[in-house]
Structure 1
Amino acid sequence: MFLLKANNLAVEIAGQKLFENVSIEIKEQERIALIGENGIGKTTLIKVLLGRLPAQSGHVQYGVNKKEIGYMVQENQRDNGTVMDFVIANHPNAVIKNELTHYSQLLAEQPEDLQVIEEYNKRLQKYLDVHGYDWEMNVEKTLKQLGIPEPLWYLPYANLSGGQKTRVKLARVLLQSPKLIILDEPTNHLDIESIHWLEDWLLNFKGSVLFISHEREFIDHVATSTYELTKSGTKKYSGGYFSYKQQKEHEYKTMQKLYEKQEQERKKLLETITQYKQWYDKANAGASVRDPYAQKKAAKQATKMKAKEKVLERLEKEKIDKPELTKTISTNFVSDDFGGRKMLELINVTFSYSTMPIFSNVYLELNWRDRLAVVGPNGSGKTTLLQLMAGILEPDCGQVRRNPQLKIGYFFQELENLNFENSILDEILMIPNITQADARTILACFLFRREDVFKKISTLSMGEKCRVAFVKLYFSNANLLVLDEPTNYFDIPTRETIENALIVYPGSIVLVAHDPYLLRKVANKVAYIKKGKVDYYPGSYHEWEKHQTFSNPVQLMMNKLEKLQLRYTQLMTDENVDPAQEESRLAEIKKIRVEIEEIEKKLNGS
């Protein structure tokens, strides 16, 4: 059974076609990733699917009530209320509850007022009719199920971390009892631990999911199928990102063979037509002296030539465009000799914001050609560490030693220094010793093609501005790149371009990112920040992940415990259980409870 189906959608924005021929179908228990380049219209498509925007053509069918489709938006809503206010906002029961609370307060102040008593009784009956108190219990159960502890419920929503906000937004969606959840960039602003939690939650969700994401590992772990959106339509691929890439590579090879075969056939036809034309001209010249045989021969050659021209015309109509691969970075860096091996050193560095300590007695060194990944939970101080390295912040105690030959390029400074009146090409031509031809080649490698290079910086999206800033930084002659979440606003093709550029970069790199794909490809050293300490690991990010898994059995048990508790609360709070599956549900609850007790005993040392 399908939950939602769209056929041949086309959308225009300000008279310009955004996309066309878009078809998508979401069935029960499917988890679909929607991918595509920035600006292609993924969020617009979701709004069309939800009926919030019109399509110029095509139609959307719903296999469920639209109220059973939950939508978790991309941006963090600005809300001055509490977490509880945010969760129940827009729910019909919340309006009645607020009215009931209002008259309850009035009644406390005016207990003898008959009109107040009457209005209070009306609201109370209305609340009972909609099972309001059961709904309140469901709200509390949902918050607990998502790991939002009671002390947070009445704190300001705006004060929550990115991971906490994601859980709260999910709670609001779940109160609709959705059969389909639509998520727009759900991993934005989440640290790696929060992303893993979200993966586990979605894998245990019994309904269907449609989500937009540029996080390749998240797509791999969650998606059962992937739709790619382009201007000319959508195409469905089985599995997650890795499977999608394999299928795309196979497509490319197939299309390349078809293109080569077509070009050979086209070349052969052109040669044949040319030959027939020569024979026709020769025969026709003989026919001019009233030679019946020559006239017959000329007519025969003309017929053959026209037949081949029709074949060529049909071939041109069915022409396969040459498949294109994204250009790769080709650079000829002149790598300066770096005096000495050590580039930068933090010695017993302590830093705090006002009275809030961030680091204490940190020692860290960065050597020539190091690619250091700085990782840790949100709020642990990753950006602060980068700013101390770059000299933007100064330590309270200790010192930061920098090699005199060190030239630091800091990503966010480059982003802030873009001239909004310049075109993209103008900005790149500011790089020393660069020609216009080189600038355009470089921009093509970073996915700015043809007329795009003349766009003004002021008209660009945040992702495009970040791309321009990265190009300027990359070719700035810096020998240390300091990159704080450089891929946050990038689509997958841009992320892969950035990765390839960083791999061939000849200097050193310090990198904060929540994208494991990027970190595995680039980083050869890791600094892990937690609770004011910085632990240094002298190996690749992939090796560090393995080290974390095998060297910390307590953390392993805690991770397993969190997953079991998540599954346990979902099973206990599921109100839509098929009676035929009740026995297996109870058996799973019993099994999980035993596992939880065993892990808790081990953690408590008993």
Structure 2
Amino acid sequence: MALLRCRAIKKNFGEHAVLQGAAFDLAGDEKVGLVGHNGCGKTTLANIIFGSIEPDGGAVEYGGENLRIGYLLQNGGYKVHVRGVAVETGFAAEADQSTHERAYGENHIFRKTASGIGLDRVWEWSGERYANLSGGERTKLALAGVWSSKPDLLILDEPTNHLDFAGIDWLVGEVARFGGAVIIISHDRYFLDQSVNRISELDDGRISEYSGNYTRYKEEKLRRYESQLRQHLNDVKQQEKLAAEIANLKNWSEKAHRTSRDAARQSGNGKKEYFRVKAKKMDRQVKSRIKRLENMQRDGVGKPKEEAGVFFEFESPDKRGMRLIAGTAVSKSFGELRLLSDCTFFVKRGECIGLVGPNGCGKTTLIRMIIGEQQPDQGEIWISPSARAGYLSQNGSETDLTKRVIDIVGDLPVALRTKARTVLANMGFKEDVIEKQLSQFSMGEVTRIRLAELIFKGCNLLILDEPTNHLDLASREQLEATLVEYGGAGLLVSHDRYMLEKLCDRYLVFTGVEAETGTTEKTQGSGDGVSRGNGAGGGLSGGAGGGLIRVDGSLQEWLAAQAAAGAAIRRNQGPSQAQIQAQANGGSDDDRGQGERGSFGDGGEGADGAPDAAGPEQLMAIENRIAYLLGQLSRYKPTDSEYHVIDRELNELMAAKKRHV
């Protein structure tokens, strides 16, 4: 039985027709991804299903008398309706502490969900704490709230926007376990692949259905496009052939009529009648073929719609020098929170490096130090004089929204202005809109304009902080395709795993955020119990806490290694202290010869030469070795013998670390 049915839904905003007969059915346990370009009406349809907007035409039929719908909003809030009547709304930042305690203190589902996603004892938070929520915290609270309302249908509008990898994986698991139906509006391809069994594409106000996840949808959409294109080209070929026959028959008919008249003049009406009959027969054939051609043109397969192109094109950068960025012994703290501690790193020309870590670990802070907006507390960040950096921030704070699109072109040298107009046109900004101020565009459009600026500047170093946040799926994939061809260096912060996997062959991984007391904080929301401390390896180093490690290879394998490390801690099977010390004395440098700081060979003994089994030096050595081995593990596949050797050592070290802590 269908949980709900949308029947020929229509909705206009002024003269703009957003929905033009959209039809949509949903069974009680389906997980559906609703996709389409920005502005196509996805959120409008979700609001009509939820009941907060009335359609101009059509209707929504619900399958139950008391259907409970939970709706996670893009802005980090949520609503719950029962047959169009609001029964719950959250979160009010201005609410006092007692309000939150009453709402959530006894709600066991909320408490369990909040803890699972990394929000510890949220029911004890003060009103001031609620008033200063980050985007990620607001999203997590809303998720916990909407889950605890026990809905029959969940509508999730961009639920992963502010979640880190651990939070996204948690959400994937919760969606899989949820017994009701789910409608997901998302531009996160990984999340859609892991969560949905059907894709509903909204285009030109109507819905097309595809079974399977996002990857299957792309494959099937391409297959349908190619099939329709083949049929269309075959129809065009047949029509051209028929049109040629009609032209020939018309010529023959006209010739027959002329011959009939000439014959009548020369030999009387006998021959005239013969040629007249022949000409009329050809006339009938012409009319028949014209009718066939009209039917083919009316009923034939039309040319399939091509997706609107959004084209990015960067200039090939120069190749002078090797390193564009080099950080040496960099440390950075905010009050008692230590984000980076004695970290050394570098970025070479041509490398695309992903910055990876949980929310709040310091990714954006590191970028701000690189571009000079902030300074390290200790250490130095060197930028090559030949570096031409282009920076794209998360919130567009570097963009003057009072500027017009044409002003961006006007700031360029005269020789580049024609090309700039062409680039803007390729990105969807025609002559009729370039006089508008940036404030009149959506955030996705502003992001594309800001990317256009980087193209115009001829950057050889791109620093992109969540560049896909406001881009639709087509724009994301086009940006990916362009960056694959880009020959310059890149630093990329993104929660889009598919983009990271496709573009990055190396990663700088943040291994921990430490308070000044010296204890390493658990990564919030990881769910694996792993305490992340300092790291070293691959030409990078870090002191105690707030470390960076350089990982070569697959991000997915790195994340799998982290999960394996968490499992090793839970198993709590480790070596003796003698074995630990033997491991401590056997640490090796990176096989690439780039060196590491704080490896197992550094110390581990007290002043009298005896092993300091429980001292901070040995704990630091264990943490360094763990971080190093995790980096090495990502280079191998689970079928490789080296993988199992490293995995065994990791299991032993994780158990040893837990005993020390």
Q: 1:335, CA displacement in angstroms? A: 3.1
How far apart in 2 are the matches of 1:32 and 1:87? Answer: 34
Residue 224 (1) aligns with residue 192 (2): no
| Pick aligned residue for 2:322 from 322, 326, 341 | 341
Name 2:606's counterpart in structure 1. none
- Checking the alignment, whether the CA contact within 8 Å between 1:414 and 1:472 is kept in structure 2 is no
Matched to 1:270, the amino acid is A
1:181 offset after TM fit, Å?
A: 0.9
| Distance apart, 1:386 and its partner CA | 0.6
* 1:190 corresponds to: 163
Query: Secondary structure of the equivalent of 2:547?
Result: strand
Is 2:378 the counterpart of 1:365? no
Q: Tell me which residue corresponds to 1:383.
A: 364
Cα distance in 1 between the residues matched to 2:5 and 2:570: 37
Matched with 1:578 is none
SS in 1 for 2:256: helix
Bigger RCO (CA 8 Å, 6+ sep): 1
* Equivalent residues in 2 for 1:9-158, closer than 5 Å: 9-65=9-65, 68-77=68-77, 79-81=93-95, 85=99, 137=106, 139-147=107-115, 148-150=119-121, 152-155=123-126, 156-158=129-131
Gaps of 5+ in 2: 78-91, 265-271, 514-544, 573-653
Alignment of 1:142-541 (within 5 A): 142-147=110-115, 148-150=119-121, 152-155=123-126, 156-289=129-262, 291-319=272-300, 320-324=302-306, 327=309, 331=313, 333-338=315-320, 340-354=321-335, 356-412=337-393, 416-418=398-400, 420-423=402-405, 427-428=408-409, 430-432=411-413, 438-439=419-420, 441-443=422-424, 445-448=426-429, 456-529=437-510, 530-531=512-513, 532-540=545-553
Following superposition, the deviation at residue 354 of structure 1 comes to 4.8
Classify the secondary structure of the residue corresponding to 1:142: helix
Give the CA deviation at 1:429. 6.4
Shift of 1:65: 3.6
Partner of 1:582: none
Secondary structure in 2 matching 1:501: helix
**Aligned CA distance change for structure 1 residues 506 and 551 (closer, same or farther; 3 Å):** same
Residue 451 of structure 1 deviates from its aligned partner by 5.5
Is contact 2:353-2:506 (8 Å) kept? yes
Q: CA contact under 8 A between 2:41 and 2:205: conserved in structure 1?
A: no
Distance 1:558 1:361 in 2: 27
Q: Deviations over 1:363-384 (max 9, x none)?
A: 1111111111111111111001
Instruction: Please say if residues 569 and 658 of structure 2, whose CA atoms lie closer than 8 Å, have aligned partners that are also in contact.
Output: no
Distance 1:494 1:453 in 2: 19
- 2:296 alignment partner AA: L
Change (3 A) 1:167 1:435: closer
**Cα deviation code 1:79-130 (max 9, x no counterpart):** 2125774697xxxxx7xxxxxxxxxxxxxxxxxxxxxxxxxxxxxxxxxxxx
Give the TM-score normalised by structure 2: 0.72
Structure in which a larger fraction of residues adopt helix: 1
Aligned residues: 518
Distance in structure 2 (CA, Å) of the matches to 1:420 and 1:536: 41
Distance 1:560 1:8 in 2: 56
Deviation by residue 1:467-495 (Cα, 9 ceiling, x = unmatched): 11112213311111111111101111010
Letter in 1 for 2:499: L
Distance in 1, Cα, partners of 2:655 & 2:474: 47
Q: Which runs of 5+ in 1 are unaligned?
A: 89-93, 95-134, 562-599
1:154/1:323 Cα in 2 relative to 1: closer, same or farther (>3 Å)? closer
Question: How far apart in 2 are the matches of 1:195 and 1:559?
Answer: 22
Change beyond 3 A, Cα 1:86–1:35:
farther
- Describe the shift of the 1:293–1:264 C-alpha distance in structure 2 as closer, same or farther (beyond 3 A): same
Name the SS for the 2:355 alignment partner: strand
Distance in 1, matches of 2:172 and 2:570, equals 13
Q: Deviations over 1:409-428 (max 9, x none)?
A: 111397733564524x6635
Q: Is the 8 A contact 1:255 1:323 kept in 2?
A: no
Q: Distance in 2 between matches of 1:165 and 1:551?
A: 26
CA 1:353–1:196 in 2, change beyond 3 Å: closer, same or farther?
A: same
Residue 594 of structure 2 corresponds to: none
Alignment partner of 2:24: what SS? Answer: strand
Q: Distance in 2 between matches of 1:310 and 1:559?
A: 77
Distance 1:140 1:349, change over 3 A: same
Deviation at 1:47, TM superposition (A): 0.8
Post-superposition CA distance 1:496-537 (Å, at most 9, x none): 011111111121101100000000111122111121523232
Q: 1:79 to 1:318 in 2, by over 3 A?
A: farther
Structure 1 residues 315 and 508 mapped into 2: Cα distance closer, same or farther (>3 Å)?
A: same
- The alpha-carbon distance between structure 1 residues 560 and 229, as it changes in their structure 2 partners (threshold 3 A), is farther
Give the Cα–Cα distance (whole angstroms) in 2 for the partners of residues 549 and 428 of structure 1: 46
Is the alpha carbon distance of 1:456 and 1:551 closer, same or farther for their aligned partners in structure 2, counting shifts above 3 Å? closer
CA distance in 1, matches of 2:478, 2:559: 29
Q: Between 239-248 and 147-156, report the one with greater CA deviation.
A: 147-156
Identity among equivalent positions (%) equals: 29
The secondary structure found in structure 2 opposite 1:373 is: strand
In structure 1, how many angstroms separate the alpha carbons of the residues matched to 2:312 and 2:242?
A: 38
- Greater mean alpha carbon deviation, residues 19-28 or residues 297-306: 297-306
Distance 1:73 1:440, change over 3 A: same
Q: In structure 2, the residue corresponding to 1:186 is in which secondary structure?
A: coil
Contact preservation (8 Å) 2:18, 2:205: no
What letter is aligned with 1:81?
A
Cα distance in 1 between the residues matched to 2:570 and 2:239: 61
CA distance in 1, matches of 2:410, 2:570: 50
- Deviation digits for residues 314-362 of structure 1, max 9, x if unmatched? 2222341245366585858353241x21111111112233554322211
C-alpha change, 1:206 and 1:334, in structure 2 (3 Å) is closer
TM-score (norm 1): 0.78
Q: Which residue identity lines up with residue 218 of structure 1 in the other structure?
A: F
Secondary structure, aligned partner of 2:17: strand
Give the CA deviation at 1:208: 1.1
For 1:536 and 1:283, the matched residues in 2 are separated by: 88
Taking the aligned partners of 2:258 and 2:356, their CA distance within structure 1 comes to 82
Task: Write the distance in 1 (CA, Å) between the matches of 2:256 and 2:114.
Answer: 86
Q: Deviation string for 1:210-236 (max 9, x for gaps)?
A: 110000000000001111111141011
Distance in 1, Cα, partners of 2:175 & 2:460: 42
Cα distance, 1:445 vs structure 2: 4.4
Structure 2 CA distance, aligned partners of 1:189 and 1:551? 21
State how far apart, in whole Å, the 2-side matches of 1:74 and 1:330 are: 27
